[in-house]
């Protein structure tokens, strides 16, 4: 089963791609989901690394504050879709 975790946008979170100079404003629709099989994999056009991480291990990872907010919302209020 999947369900909406939140819809997020932050005008201060702009990603600039150094190889092209392209700048993008973040807009994300996040879902709760269950893995069906296989290993986590990065789509190297969008992500440089992917892994399954236990929630207790998140504090040591360098995560942008706007991304961390999405994770906190999903873990602490899983039944509430957030619009931010």
CB atoms inside a 10 Å sphere around CB 10: 16
Q: How far is CA 65 from the centre of its chain?
A: 11
pLDDT score of 1: 59
Which residues have a Cβ under 8 Å from the Cβ of 68 and sit 6 or more positions away?
58
Across 1-84, the runs of DSSP E, i.e. the strands, are: 3-16, 23-32, 82-83
**Cross-strand bridge partners of residue 58:** none
Give the Cα separation of 31 and 70 in Å (integer).
10
Q: Could you report the per-residue pLDDT of 9-62, keeping only the tens digit for each?
A: 888 878 888 899 898 888 899 999 888 777 777 776 777 777 888 999 999 999
Report yes or no on whether pTM surpasses 0.95. Answer: no
How many domains are contained in the chain? 1
Residue 22 structural domain: 3-83
């Amino acid at each position: 089963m999947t369900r909406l975790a939140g819809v997020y946008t932050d005008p201060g979170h702009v990603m600039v791609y150094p190889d092209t100079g392209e700048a993008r404003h973040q807009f994300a629709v996040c879902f709760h989901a269950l893995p069906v099989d296989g290993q986590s994999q990065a789509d190297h056009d969008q992500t440089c690394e992917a892994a399954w991480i236990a929630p207790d291990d998140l504090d040591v990872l360098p995560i942008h504050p706007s991304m961390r907010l999405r994770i906190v919302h999903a873990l602490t209020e899983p039944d509430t879709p957030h619009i931010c």
